[in-house]
Amino acid sequence: MSEHSVSLVRLDVVPDSVSVAIADAVRGWLLERGIIAANDRVDPLWHPSAWKPGPGARSAVADDSWFAAFLGTANNGVDIAARRDCYHPVENDELPVCRRCSAPAPRAYRDSYGEWLGRWLDEGAEPAFTCDGCEWMALAGDWAGEFSVMVGVPAISFLNWPDLDARFIADARVRLGGRTAVVRSHW
């Protein structure tokens, strides 16, 4: 069986105390709306997340046609991170594209991947890349795509959920604040 997740990640570097406060506020918002509830059956293999779908979870999904089956799915929790981490699309990995001309990320992105990703994760130094096609330059998180690696904090990851509603994603990104990205992972 395969797994998937959708992670909403704040890209801007913020002090640890700020990221903890934002993560707490996001968790409070998700609890208040009933999107999540405390996981009362934590199991390292079956349900490892601290949060499970709550009574209002259906309001966060775009299509609830398989919602009942989703509630019985293993590892269908929500993780809320307050420490910087790497969010990788795993099998979904695709190069991001230029927001101006849709050219794939430049050779520099591909050729030094491990180097710049390590600095971004360890030091918070988000790299900038220049498009080979139109010479547009932007930080890695500003290139278009939901199947590219991102580093940030705080973040919310929805594990094995049905597709999330676009309005819900937009609301959650506003609550994370700053520049945010979506990473869709599959493994």
Tell me: the pLDDT tens digits for 12-27? 999 999 999 999 999 9
* pLDDT given for residue 1 in this prediction: 63
DSSP element (H, E) containing 27: helix 16-32
> Tens of pLDDT along 128-178?
999 999 999 999 999 999 999 999 999 999 999 999 999 999 999 999 999
pLDDT above 80: residue 120: yes
The domain limits of the chain are 4-87+146-186, 107-142
Residue reference for tokens 């609890």: 31
Q: Taking residues 78-96, what's their average pLDDT?
A: 96
Is 93 in contact with 185 (CB distance < 8 Å)?
no
Q: Region 81-107: what's the mean pLDDT?
A: 96
Over its C-alpha atoms, the chain yields an Rg (Å, rounded) of 17
Give the H or E element holding residue 69: helix 67-71
Cis status of the peptide bond prior to 154, with omega within 30 of 0: yes
